[in-house]
Structure 1
């Protein structure tokens, strides 16, 4: 008799339990080809379930090809339903975002680029979302155009001209699912295998990965307190583009001065390459007036990338790519093949959020909060470490750089620091040419309250002291 364990406490229907267990036994070879199964009456009696349960399970298995019914003979296992299973490889994950999800909730995480998620303007967003859902025509619920809603592109072009000096027509804008998709589109648009791309060094490791995946060769140019050292741009190379973060270099924080911007433009003209401008964190500038975009100086050579992840929330997955006119049509096709279009209703809400002035008010509010948190972090670092550290890259954005005079952050040291319940990020992780930034770390503060910042720096100090004390004792 075929014994099938039935568990009536489960939410899984009895029919599904019977079906699944017989199916699995056929697939793994426990029930052999041409083996006869008990009649529906026998099995229902044995399992103490309604005969209809067995009838429906058998019918489903027959429809799927696992069983065959022979008139006057009964029900049999069909031929060819055995599937040999190979031993599964152990799961292996190395992605940074997977590791981030594993961080203990009691750990103070100084990850950069995270805004104050608890201060997202929920009430306003909810009000506008409700209005959009009530007022928008039925056509807005269908498939849309790949470049994005015209309402958002129009309001965005006005906003960027006003705040960033970006010179573009709404038709030059492609709405993307964040800056990451914008960079992926750029790589597909401009790069072929073995093409050269010039990049700042260090630069976000994720961006390096995006461009290398397309087959590009990365040519690093060092950065200093003023961003990319444009005097080191190679005249004997033919790059597809130069990738820069001129308003706020990540991770070191420099702002590219006008002289270097002009050098970049002259270089792009001489080598006939594009400039890809990632306008990273430019909205939150705490010292001096806002810096205009590179795109405003050379619209026909600059591809401009922006995002609302730091301004509002990464969960929105809303960004944009501004293109020279001759690249627009090709990019629209790439966007269509990528995901058809970015969610339309979210675009309409964001368009109204910008048009009615909520975005500028939100940025003004958050700028004060982030500046206060930055100042508090700097004070904690100076109080705790005194003259042992140098702080820079703090004039803009949601992170700063701490350079230790006598401390290197090897993998072992970082692991010991994490044992103390604090997570920090070395600049070296983002370096193309390794070995130049072993004593520098990135501390993000936008998402941390003052008490978390203070506790985190205290733990960091304790962890470094503990690691160094153990190392000295071993040497003795």
Structure 2
């Protein structure tokens, strides 16, 4: 007789319990090839379960090849089903939820690049979403174009010309799942192992990783309060491209002046290489008029990357890559093999959101809110640290740089700050050449309330009193 323990309080159905136990005994060799199993009637009586449960379990095992039925003889363990069992790895425990921006956490997280998610225009988005689900053609539910829906590309090309001075035909646009995918596509498009790329330093560590994983060697150019120092561009190498964040250098926050932009374009022409422009959170400019894109100076030399993660929500996973015309077809193929296409309905909703003027109104509203939060942060930092703090990079975006004189933000000090309930992020984490920015912090404020900003700076002050 085949005895199988049955647990009627388990979340597993009785059928799955019977099936699973027989399967494990066959794989382990406890039930050897050729062994005869009891009839379904016998086993159901022995286990005191419905015969249908045993029939279903046997049928599943027969379908998977574990059992073989012989007419008039019964059911037997099939040949070739034993698998030597190795020691099983321990089950992975559930990872701790580390959503540090959640309001229930005692940690005040000054992480940069997070918008005020609680102010996402849910009602408008939901209304447009319902409309699009009702009106969208059936084709929007199927496999779609890798470069993105023409409705969004058409609207977006006009919007970017109006707001950022970007010159492109809709066919030069590829809709991506955020800026990260756009960067990855650019790397696959342009890089081979051993290639040189020029990057401003410091720059987001993740972007460095994307390019180095493609086999490229990074040549760093220092950035200052005006962005990448174009006078230091090397003549002795042949780079595939120069990567820059000209409208709002990350993390230092500078804006590249026209003189340096002209130098960059001339350098790229001289070296016959491309420029990659990451237009990082440039929509939220708090001081001075909007700055036009680098792409507008030479559209056939610049790859332009943008996303809606900072404007609306990272959860939308919606970005775009604007390409010189000669790179479009190859990039479309790469996008197809990456993920076929970005979700179509979200593209249609976003197109209607931009077309209806909702995006511009949302940006104007958020600029006022972010500027107020920035001003409170600056006031708190100056009040807490007086002459010890130098603030920069605050004219645009969702973060600023706080340089604390005579402070070195090493691992021990950062741990002490975290112990006090604050997360801060050193500029040094994003440097290529180490040792030049140890006294600087990136302090994001977009997602924090006024009270959280005040409390976070107060906690930081307490820790740094003795430093």
- What interval of TM-score do these two structures reach, taking the shorter chain for normalisation? over 0.9
* SS of the residue 1:41 aligns to: helix
* Residues 1:348 and 2:341 aligned together: no
Residue in 2 that maps onto 1:474: none
Residue in 1 that maps onto 2:193: 193
Change in Cα spacing, 1:83 to 1:401, as seen in structure 2 (3 Å) is: farther
CA distance in 1 between partners of 2:150 and 2:86 (Å): 52
Contact 2:67–2:76 (8 Å) recurs in 1: yes
Residue in 2 that maps onto 1:209: 209
* SS of the residue 2:296 aligns to: coil
Write the mapping of 1:254-273 to structure 2, written as runs, cut at 5 A: 254-273=254-273
Per-residue deviation, residues 455-475 of structure 1 (Å, max 9, x unmatched): 111222233447x5xxxxxxx
Write the mapping of 1:5-44 to structure 2, written as runs, cut at 5 A: 5-44=5-44
Deviation at 1:436, TM superposition (A): 1.5
Deviation at 1:7, TM superposition (A): 2.4
Residue in 2 that maps onto 1:473: none
Per-residue deviation, residues 152-210 of structure 1 (Å, max 9, x unmatched): 11111111111111111111111111111111110111111111110011100111111
Residue in 2 that maps onto 1:45: 45
Write the mapping of 1:106-185 to structure 2, written as runs, cut at 5 A: 106-185=106-185
* SS of the residue 1:447 aligns to: coil
Per-residue deviation, residues 109-164 of structure 1 (Å, max 9, x unmatched): 11110000000001111111111112222222222211111111111111111111
Per-residue deviation, residues 274-296 of structure 1 (Å, max 9, x unmatched): 00000001000001000000000
* SS of the residue 1:42 aligns to: helix
CA distance in 2 between partners of 1:170 and 1:240 (Å): 25
* Residues 1:331 and 2:331 aligned together: yes
TM-score normalised per structure 2: 0.95
Write the mapping of 1:273-352 to structure 2, written as runs, cut at 5 A: 273-352=273-352
Residue in 2 that maps onto 1:253: 253
Change in Cα spacing, 1:355 to 1:390, as seen in structure 2 (3 Å) is: same
Residue in 2 that maps onto 1:439: 439
Write the mapping of 1:350-429 to structure 2, written as runs, cut at 5 A: 350-429=350-429
Residue in 2 that maps onto 1:471: none
Contact 2:100–2:109 (8 Å) recurs in 1: no
Change in Cα spacing, 1:389 to 1:89, as seen in structure 2 (3 Å) is: farther
TM-score normalised per structure 1: 0.93
Per-residue deviation, residues 423-457 of structure 1 (Å, max 9, x unmatched): 11111111111222111111111000011111111
Contact 2:100–2:107 (8 Å) recurs in 1: no
Change in Cα spacing, 1:102 to 1:116, as seen in structure 2 (3 Å) is: closer
Residue in 2 that maps onto 1:459: 459
Per-residue deviation, residues 363-415 of structure 1 (Å, max 9, x unmatched): 00000000001111111111122222211111100011111112211122222
CA distance in 2 between partners of 1:428 and 1:401 (Å): 12
Count of residues in Structure 1 that have an aligned counterpart in Structure 2: 464
Deviation at 1:46, TM superposition (A): 2.2
Deviation at 1:88, TM superposition (A): 5.6
Residue in 2 that maps onto 1:472: none
Change in Cα spacing, 1:87 to 1:200, as seen in structure 2 (3 Å) is: farther
Residue in 1 that maps onto 2:450: 450
Supply the RMSD in Å over aligned alpha carbons: 2.1
CA distance in 2 between partners of 1:131 and 1:41 (Å): 56
CA distance in 1 between partners of 2:442 and 2:268 (Å): 31
Deviation at 1:316, TM superposition (A): 0.8
Contact 2:167–2:296 (8 Å) recurs in 1: yes
Change in Cα spacing, 1:101 to 1:88, as seen in structure 2 (3 Å) is: farther
Per-residue deviation, residues 72-120 of structure 1 (Å, max 9, x unmatched): 5543332322333444667999xxx999547882211111100000000
Change in Cα spacing, 1:165 to 1:98, as seen in structure 2 (3 Å) is: farther
* SS of the residue 1:369 aligns to: helix
CA distance in 1 between partners of 2:228 and 2:322 (Å): 22
Residue in 2 that maps onto 1:3: 3
CA distance in 2 between partners of 1:23 and 1:90 (Å): 21
More off after superposition, 299-308 vs 130-139: 130-139
Change in Cα spacing, 1:279 to 1:92, as seen in structure 2 (3 Å) is: farther
Change in Cα spacing, 1:85 to 1:440, as seen in structure 2 (3 Å) is: farther
**Unpaired stretches in structure 2, ≥5 consecutive residues:** none
